[in-house]
Protein backbone atom coordinates (compact mmCIF):
# COMPACT_ATOMS: atom_id res chain seq x y z
CA UNK A 1 0.00 0.00 0.00
CA UNK A 2 1.42 3.38 -1.02
CA UNK A 3 0.85 6.10 1.56
CA UNK A 4 0.21 9.54 0.13
CA UNK A 5 1.70 12.20 2.46
CA UNK A 6 -1.33 14.42 1.87
CA UNK A 7 -3.50 11.71 3.42
CA UNK A 8 -1.37 11.51 6.57
CA UNK A 9 -3.03 13.66 9.17
CA UNK A 10 -1.47 14.91 12.39
CA UNK A 11 -3.24 15.77 15.60
CA UNK A 12 -1.18 18.28 17.55
CA UNK A 13 -1.12 20.27 20.77
CA UNK A 14 0.44 23.69 21.12
CA UNK A 15 1.35 25.32 24.41
CA UNK A 16 0.60 29.02 24.18
CA UNK A 17 2.37 31.89 25.93
CA UNK A 18 -0.20 31.91 28.75
CA UNK A 19 0.30 28.12 29.30
CA UNK A 20 -3.05 27.30 27.68
CA UNK A 21 -3.21 24.37 25.26
CA UNK A 22 -4.53 24.45 21.69
CA UNK A 23 -5.44 21.27 19.80
CA UNK A 24 -5.73 20.99 16.02
CA UNK A 25 -5.23 18.75 13.01
CA UNK A 26 -3.32 19.21 9.78
CA UNK A 27 -1.78 17.30 6.90
CA UNK A 28 1.17 19.74 6.74
CA UNK A 29 2.49 20.45 10.23
CA UNK A 30 5.32 22.77 9.19
CA UNK A 31 2.96 25.02 7.20
CA UNK A 32 0.37 25.01 9.98
CA UNK A 33 2.91 25.96 12.67
CA UNK A 34 4.06 28.89 10.53
CA UNK A 35 0.44 30.01 10.30
CA UNK A 36 -0.03 29.75 14.06
CA UNK A 37 3.16 31.75 14.64
CA UNK A 38 1.97 34.47 12.26
CA UNK A 39 4.77 33.81 9.76
CA UNK A 40 2.23 33.13 7.00
CA UNK A 41 -1.44 33.81 6.37
CA UNK A 42 -3.95 31.68 8.23
CA UNK A 43 -3.75 30.19 11.68
CA UNK A 44 -6.32 30.14 14.41
CA UNK A 45 -7.60 33.36 15.91
CA UNK A 46 -6.94 31.85 19.33
CA UNK A 47 -3.24 31.22 18.76
CA UNK A 48 -2.70 34.61 17.15
CA UNK A 49 -3.81 36.23 20.40
CA UNK A 50 -1.95 33.81 22.71
CA UNK A 51 1.60 34.02 21.32
CA UNK A 52 4.15 32.57 21.48
CA UNK A 53 3.04 28.99 20.73
CA UNK A 54 5.21 25.91 20.70
CA UNK A 55 4.51 22.36 19.61
CA UNK A 56 4.35 20.03 22.63
CA UNK A 57 2.62 16.93 21.23
CA UNK A 58 1.74 15.26 17.95
CA UNK A 59 0.33 11.96 16.78
CA UNK A 60 -0.35 10.63 13.30
CA UNK A 61 -3.59 9.45 11.76
CA UNK A 62 -4.12 7.88 8.35
CA UNK A 63 -7.37 9.72 7.58
CA UNK A 64 -8.91 13.12 8.15
CA UNK A 65 -11.98 11.46 9.64
CA UNK A 66 -9.95 9.57 12.27
CA UNK A 67 -7.93 12.72 13.01
CA UNK A 68 -11.12 14.73 13.59
CA UNK A 69 -12.45 12.02 15.90
CA UNK A 70 -9.22 11.95 17.91
CA UNK A 71 -9.11 15.76 18.05
CA UNK A 72 -12.63 15.77 19.51
CA UNK A 73 -11.56 13.28 22.20
CA UNK A 74 -8.49 15.34 23.11
CA UNK A 75 -10.44 18.61 23.21
CA UNK A 76 -12.85 17.06 25.74
CA UNK A 77 -9.98 16.02 28.04
CA UNK A 78 -9.17 18.02 31.13
CA UNK A 79 -6.01 20.07 31.07
CA UNK A 80 -4.43 17.57 33.48
CA UNK A 81 -5.24 14.69 31.11
CA UNK A 82 -3.75 16.62 28.18
CA UNK A 83 -0.59 17.29 30.18
CA UNK A 84 -0.38 13.56 31.01
CA UNK A 85 -0.72 12.78 27.28
CA UNK A 86 2.11 15.21 26.51
CA UNK A 87 4.34 13.60 29.15
CA UNK A 88 3.86 9.99 27.95
Taken in order of first residue, the domains within the chain and their CATH numbers are 5-86 (3.40.1440.10)
The model's pTM: 0.87
pLDDT of 3: 47
Structure confidence at residue 39 (pLDDT): 87
Q: What is the pLDDT of residues 10-55, one digit of tens each?
A: 999 999 999 999 999 999 999 999 999 888 888 788 888 888 999 9
pLDDT of amino acid 44:
80
77 in Cβ contact with 85 (< 8 Å): yes
CB 65 within 8 A of CB 4: no
Q: Would you state the pLDDT for residue 1?
A: 36
Q: What is the pLDDT of residue 50?
A: 87
Amino acid sequence: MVINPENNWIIYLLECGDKSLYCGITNNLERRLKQHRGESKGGAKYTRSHQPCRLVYKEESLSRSKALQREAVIKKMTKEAKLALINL
